[in-house]
Amino acid sequence: MKSMIRELREAKGMTQEELAAQSKISRTTISFLENNVEKDTLAGTLFAIAAVLDTTIDKLFFDEND
């Protein structure tokens, strides 16, 4: 699965730092998610990011095999 977080964030004209501040998620975690670094992520983290980006969790990612 590929993260769409960077594309969604940039479409809103936000930096990683702005997304981190608004979602209360570390910039490092956002960077890991944007770069598809293997990391366990809590649902609450994804909900917070999705809320700031005005989207749903399922739209934060897409399956490269589809």
Task: Report yes or no: 46 and 60 within 8 Å, Cβ to Cβ.
Answer: yes
Per-residue pLDDT tens digits for 10-57: 999 999 999 999 999 999 999 999 998 877 889 999 999 999 999 999
Q: Determine the pLDDT at residue 66.
A: 54
pLDDT of residue 63: 58
Question: Cβ atoms within 10 A of the Cβ of 49, count?
Answer: 26
Q: Where are the domains of the chain?
A: 2-56
CATH number of 2-56: 1.10.260.40
13-29 core/surface letters (b: 16 or more CB in 10 A; e: else): ebebeebbeebebeeeb
What pLDDT score was predicted for residue 40?
A: 85
Q: Which pLDDT value is given to residue 1?
A: 62
Q: What is the CB neighbour count within 10 angstroms for residue 34? A: 18
User: Residue 48 has what pLDDT?
Assistant: 97
User: Can you tell me whether residue 21 is helix, strand or coil?
Assistant: helix
State yes or no: pLDDT of 4 exceeds 70: yes
